[in-house]
Structure 1
Amino acid sequence: MKLKEELHSEANDDSSPSADAELFRTRDIEQARDWGTRTFCENELRNIDVRGELDARLMYRKYGSIGIGRMSYGGELRIRPTTFDDFYLVQVPLSGGEHITNGNQSVSSSPTVGSILNAGQQHEIVHTTGTEKLILRIDRGLVERLCGQHLGNDAQTRVEFDTAMPLDSAAGRRWASTMQWLFDYLDGTPSSSPLLAAQIEHMIGSLLLVSQASNHSLALNEDRSRSVTPAFIRKAEIFIEERAHEPITVGTIAEHVGVSTSSLYTGFRKYRNTSPMHLLKSIRLNRVREQLLKSDPRNTTVTAVAYQWGFAHLGHFTTYYKRWFGETPSETLAR
């Protein structure tokens, strides 16, 4: 996709990025750093080749728990982002390449080798001249929640991916083409329905888990090879995910997927090692956390958010929440 000249923000433009789409082009390194901070996290940019000309560009669109973009810096730079705790960053070079270090680990990225920057780790990126890449920001909570669901437990499961992502394998090519599809799909498209957004988030997060090696790859592969999950289980999970804000019951779920409540309970116990209502509670707890993290404590209360997501007994809710996330909801809101 070509960047449209009439929409470029030049170096003297102080406008803020919009909520849905961000597009900038600048030759000023401080403005490029500022846009990177607004979109991702605090970062340090430094020109390596002082003779090279900076031409930083970013097209980025946020969509629920994911964000997709296409970016380049033109010249050769060293990028040192601060440690980010709440998202993973997937990078697929379209041209050129980058050298990424993470502690003692080093990866040379290219159009045949992508990369994933894990949440909670410190990275340094050397971006070579002429490099352009697709980038995907995906919320850590979404990935860890999906991983827990696939493994059959109720809680978020910490996920740590390998930094190097082979793009010349079948799985790598499938992932790269999916990122390109998502970028093209969201280009110039207004925000769609929450239902569709939830389905796309689920697809992208699940595809990342099965496409890229991680600390749970063996368990995820064993889970898939051990037995084929009945279609009604997946249909029920999607229904619960999309209707978590509604007062749904086990009977409602069973009726939607076309099985009896006993069959629904049996299926969830066998294939997910949980129950439909435990899954609903875990999703609602994660939604509460997401809302608290985004809210201003001056205008929001824990009680109001808990009630909104169906937790009528505040004492029980606080106990569940602390067990899930290791902190009280008030501590989350105060962040």
Structure 2
Amino acid sequence: MEQERFRSNSLAETEAFLSSSYTPMTIGGAPERTGARIERRTLGELTVDRLAFDFTMSYDARPLEKICLVTVDRGVLTSGEETCGPGETFLVALPDRPYVGEVRAARYTITMFDTGLLEEVGQGPEAVRLTGQVPLGPAANRLLGRTVAHIRDTLLVPGFADQPLLTGAAARLMAATTLSCLPHTGSGAEAGRADGRDGTSDTLRRAVSFIEDNAHRDIGLAEIAASVPVTPRAVQYAFSRHAQTTPLGYLRRVRLARAHEDLKAASPSHTTVTAVALRWGFAHPGRFAVAYREAYDLTPGSTLRG
């Protein structure tokens, strides 16, 4: 995990840092007291920044070409026609569009990742495009905000961030939650029919073989599809039609089985359930324990001790 910190009372320095970190922009305002403070943490394809401005700052920016979510803790942010306050999360702008707005004495979190992750967790590059900035309702706003907080406060910390399988999982979790909470153009039913000719049992066999050989690596839908090779939508259709699951659901099942084998072979004096769970990409010990009990009808701890 990479970390970077910035603090300044200079408007010019702040503009230069924001332009190099996000996209070229022009800002205006009158810094007072402690001015601008930014802390950046980068985990693989995911960047999470915590920002605080003790003044009102306006900005005029070029397209980001990335997904950029803003979660407000204090103050007010505007972007285009959208205005958000504490407890709200929104998309600062559609990735391919310039944007203008204002930060009014605010403290907030920016979560940023490549648009390609939406294609990976969705239905393919032509099927998914965000069409709005605001979550689909209060429940979607809460879910989006909780996911940002979980990644920022739980996964992007020493211990968790050093686990390679969690790196990609955190980014895909954020992308999947974004798709479930923001309006977009995806249509899973049409995508499945369009690639149905490739969603064969042979596609499933090749994908399963790749997953089982590479479950120890940070792989996602794009890599699984490329190994066949077919489109991501065809792989999804093959798993749905022939295995009644998803490619990433099957990957989780394989990793759970590998964790089970590690727990059986390990000594409780040399490892812990949490260490094994993290090794196989399970960041939440409680959820790992629930999934493990459902699969093996006993707890991870009893397997390790037995």
Q: What TM-score comes out, normalization by structure 1 length?
A: 0.55
Count, aligned residues: 217
Match of 1:135 in 2: 110
- Spell out the pairing of 1:158-169 with structure 2 (5 A cutoff): 158-165=128-135, 169=138
Match of 2:36 in 1: 56
- Spell out the pairing of 1:111-190 with structure 2 (5 A cutoff): 111-116=86-91, 117-129=93-105, 131-148=106-123, 153=124, 155=125, 157-165=127-135, 169-189=138-158
Secondary structure of 1:61's aligned partner = strand
Give the conservation status (yes or no) of the 8 Å contact 1:67–1:138: yes
Match of 1:90 in 2: 69
Change in Cα spacing, 1:182 to 1:51, as seen in structure 2 (3 Å) is: closer
- Spell out the pairing of 1:176-325 with structure 2 (5 A cutoff): 176-189=145-158, 191-216=161-186, 219=187, 242-243=218-219, 267-268=238-239, 270=241
Deviations 1:117-170 (A, max 9, x none): 2210111111112x111110011111123222xxxx5x454412411236x722
Secondary structure of 2:86's aligned partner = coil
Change in Cα spacing, 1:200 to 1:112, as seen in structure 2 (3 Å) is: closer
| Unmatched 5+ stretches in structure 1 | 1-18, 224-232, 251-263, 277-335
Mapped to 2, the partners of 1:184 and 1:142 lie a distance apart of 21
Match of 1:230 in 2: none
Give the conservation status (yes or no) of the 8 Å contact 1:95–1:111: yes
Q: Does 1:74 align with 2:50?
A: no
Mapped to 2, the partners of 1:84 and 1:140 lie a distance apart of 10
Which amino acid in 2 is paired with 1:57?
A: R
Change in Cα spacing, 1:243 to 1:97, as seen in structure 2 (3 Å) is: closer
Query: Residue 53 of structure 1: CA displacement?
Result: 4.9
Secondary structure of 1:189's aligned partner = coil
Give the conservation status (yes or no) of the 8 Å contact 1:28–1:54: no
Mapped to 2, the partners of 1:36 and 1:268 lie a distance apart of 43
Query: Residue 171 of structure 1: CA displacement?
Result: 2.2
State the percentage of identical aligned residues.
Answer: 14
Query: Residue 54 of structure 1: CA displacement?
Result: 6.2
Deviations 1:49-90 (A, max 9, x none): x485561011111111111121022100101121122x1110
Give the conservation status (yes or no) of the 8 Å contact 2:72–2:108: yes
Mapped to 1, the partners of 2:242 and 2:75 lie a distance apart of 44
Give the conservation status (yes or no) of the 8 Å contact 2:10–2:31: no
Match of 1:255 in 2: none
Give the conservation status (yes or no) of the 8 Å contact 2:133–2:182: no
Give the conservation status (yes or no) of the 8 Å contact 2:47–2:113: yes
Secondary structure of 1:213's aligned partner = coil
Match of 1:34 in 2: 16
Secondary structure of 2:184's aligned partner = coil
Query: Residue 23 of structure 1: CA displacement?
Result: 1.1
Change in Cα spacing, 1:90 to 1:221, as seen in structure 2 (3 Å) is: farther
- Of residues 79, 87, 107, the one that matches 1:100 is 79
- Spell out the pairing of 1:6-25 with structure 2 (5 A cutoff): 20-25=2-7
Query: Residue 91 of structure 1: CA displacement?
Result: 0.3
The CA RMSD over aligned residues, in Å, is 3.7
Give the conservation status (yes or no) of the 8 Å contact 2:31–2:54: no
Which amino acid in 1 is paired with 2:19?
A: T
Change in Cα spacing, 1:266 to 1:144, as seen in structure 2 (3 Å) is: closer
Change in Cα spacing, 1:161 to 1:67, as seen in structure 2 (3 Å) is: farther
Change in Cα spacing, 1:203 to 1:26, as seen in structure 2 (3 Å) is: same
